[in-house]
Amino acid sequence: MNPTHSNPVEIDHEWVHIQYQEAGTFQETYGFSGNQGAVNLEGILMRPRGVPSKTLLIFMHPTSTLQLLPVPRETARHGAHVLCAASRYAKNDAALILEKVLLDLGAYIRHAKERWGYEKIVIVGWSGGGSLALFYQSQAEQPSIVQTPAGDPVDVAGARLIPADAVVFQAAHISRARMLADMIDPSVQNELDPDRRDPTLDLYAPGNPAQPPYSADFIETYRAAQLARVQRISAWVKRTLAQLREAKTAEMERGFVVHRTVAEPRYLDPSLDPNDRKPRWCYLGVPETANTGPVGLARFSTLRSWLSQWSIDDSNADGIACARRIRAPVLVIENSADDAVPQAHARLIFEACASPDKTMRVIKGATHYYAGQPEHLSEAITLVRDWLSARGIG
């Protein structure tokens, strides 16, 4: 990454299409007409005009596309070659299998090295891409997975994933499963009737005597009830999968709705894992509104997807477990006013990381998206640039 932060340059954008073959027993995403049996990936390669580089920074989120967001765009404007890589599940995580996202990321990295000639690859795991970055790197360094949590074959171990030369874990969480376990509304008593709720566990019930700042006893009860709800759903998922297999019909998968999934006490009580975030607010807006909105975590899911990305007891993508397997250099960045990721997650990843070359830094006052914070965004980009340069990677 070249030191051009004081004079950002113009960016050339190139649409990227990568296709590779994959056999499957049924369709789980919409594909291009006539291309059944092939995985089609789309990304945007951003290169600063007139600034060559042998290093590529890859931003990937399991389900989002990132090319319109400020972090990768400004990273490119400050001199880096950046690929915003969308998985096969772009903008729709209902059927997402995280093990298959590893194969998608691996296809981009192989293409970048073998077709474009980049010598160094850095995975920048921002937000939901952080646990994905750790998951990928752990399997690229120490491959082991041959099936999904649902028991379906997926040969990650035999995919010859190319390890990245460094990993950046930026404003990121431990895992999607951990985030859901901390955010799901435990007041729901019947998954088919979300109006049947325990008022003593409903954060948004006006008559609930438990109000911020919450007592330690309430939080202990609340967290236990959240975990119990996740585990009840997981148990139902496993029973339903077993029934479908035993029936031996053409029905192989089923979709379902998970109601009320944004009820994180931290969003209402700033004394819980305190940082500089704004109270009664979250990255999705007003928490009470988001709790029942269409974009809540795990709102729409399939049976297999639930086990892969949302089940705290079954998902392979636990960031702490993955960090313990990584030896490549790792930079961990915490945003001190993050309104999405719990304050403790960055430190937990840093402490778990097995890399002999690991660094942790805090961007004071930065929110999750750096919205209206160009100085904090520039600080984060400069931090990444200097850290990579010191290792001969940038």
Shared domain for 133 and 159, answered yes or no, is: yes
Q: For residue range 151-172, what is the model confidence (pLDDT) as tens digits? A: 999 999 999 999 999 999 999 9
Map residue 308 onto helix, strand or coil. Answer: helix
Shared domain for 268 and 282, answered yes or no, is: yes
Q: For residue range 247-265, what is the model confidence (pLDDT) as tens digits? A: 999 999 999 999 999 999 9
Shared domain for 341 and 289, answered yes or no, is: no
- Please tell me the predicted confidence (pLDDT) of residue 14: 97
5 is a domain residue: no
Of 280, 299, 56, 100, the residue nearest 184 (C-alpha): 299
Q: For residue range 109-136, what is the model confidence (pLDDT) as tens digits? A: 999 999 999 999 999 999 999 999 999 9
Does position 1 have pLDDT exceeding 70, yes or no? no
Residue 268 CA to residue 183 CA, distance in Å, equals 12
Of 26, 57, 62, the residue nearest 41 (C-alpha): 62
Q: For residue range 100-112, what is the model confidence (pLDDT) as tens digits? A: 999 999 999 999 9
Does position 25 have pLDDT exceeding 80, yes or no? no
2 is a domain residue: no
Residue 10 CA to residue 336 CA, distance in Å, equals 31
340 is a domain residue: yes
H-state helical runs in the chain:
70-77, 98-114, 129-141, 176-183, 216-247, 265-268, 287-291, 303-305, 319-323, 344-352, 374-390
Residue 79 CA to residue 50 CA, distance in Å, equals 10
Contact 129, 60 (CB under 8 A): yes
- Please tell me the predicted confidence (pLDDT) of residue 5: 47
Shared domain for 218 and 353, answered yes or no, is: no
Does position 4 have pLDDT exceeding 60, yes or no? no
- Please tell me the predicted confidence (pLDDT) of residue 120: 98
258 is a domain residue: yes
Q: For residue range 290-338, what is the model confidence (pLDDT) as tens digits? A: 999 998 899 999 999 999 999 999 999 999 999 999 999 999 999 999 9
More confident residue, 6 or 145: 145
Does position 6 have pLDDT exceeding 90, yes or no? no
Residue 140 CA to residue 220 CA, distance in Å, equals 37
Residue 134 CA to residue 349 CA, distance in Å, equals 9
Question: Mean pLDDT across the stretch 186-215?
Answer: 96
In the 8-state DSSP scheme, what is residue 192?
T
Say what angle helices 216-247 and 176-183 make with each other, to 10 degrees. 120
Shared domain for 198 and 149, answered yes or no, is: no
- Please tell me the predicted confidence (pLDDT) of residue 109: 98
Q: Which of 310, 343, 371 is the last residue of a domain?
A: 310
Average pLDDT, the chain: 94
Mean pLDDT is highest, among 6-15, 212-221, 269-278, for: 212-221
- Please tell me the predicted confidence (pLDDT) of residue 27: 79
Residue 279 CA to residue 357 CA, distance in Å, equals 35
Q: What is the percent of the chain with per-residue pLDDT over 90, rounded to a whole number?
A: 89
Residue found by looking up tokens 């296809």 in the block: 107
Of the pLDDT bands very low, low, confident and very high (cuts 50, 70, 90), residue 355 is very high
Assign residue 74 the CATH number of its domain. Answer: 3.40.50.1820
Shared domain for 148 and 213, answered yes or no, is: no
Of the pLDDT bands very low, low, confident and very high (cuts 50, 70, 90), residue 9 is confident
Shared domain for 210 and 326, answered yes or no, is: no
117 is a domain residue: yes
Does position 143 have pLDDT exceeding 80, yes or no? yes
Shared domain for 290 and 326, answered yes or no, is: no
Q: In sequence order, what DSSP letters do the residues of 318-332 get, joined into one string?
A: -HHHHHTT--S-EEE
- Amino acid found at 4: T
Shared domain for 247 and 346, answered yes or no, is: no
Shared domain for 19 and 56, answered yes or no, is: yes
- Please tell me the predicted confidence (pLDDT) of residue 37: 81
Does position 91 have pLDDT exceeding 80, yes or no? yes
pTM equals 0.95
Domain range for residue 209?
A: 179-310
Q: Which of 281, 310, 339 is the last residue of a domain?
A: 310
Domains held by the chain: number: 2
- List all residues 6 or more positions away from 373 whose beta carbon is below 8 Å from its beta carbon: 365, 366, 367
Shared domain for 94 and 147, answered yes or no, is: yes
Of 296, 61, 313, the residue nearest 173 (C-alpha): 61
Does position 34 have pLDDT exceeding 60, yes or no? no
Question: Mean pLDDT across the stretch 192-196?
Answer: 95
Q: What is the percent of the chain with per-residue pLDDT over 70, rounded to a whole number?
A: 97
Q: Which of 310, 334, 367 is the last residue of a domain?
A: 310
More confident residue, 184 or 27: 184
1 is a domain residue: no
Residue 86 CA to residue 66 CA, distance in Å, equals 8
6 is a domain residue: no
- Please tell me the predicted confidence (pLDDT) of residue 3: 45
- Please tell me the predicted confidence (pLDDT) of residue 8: 62
Shared domain for 272 and 352, answered yes or no, is: no
234 is a domain residue: yes
Q: In sequence order, what DSSP letters do the residues of 10-21 get, joined into one string?
A: -EEEEEEEEEEE
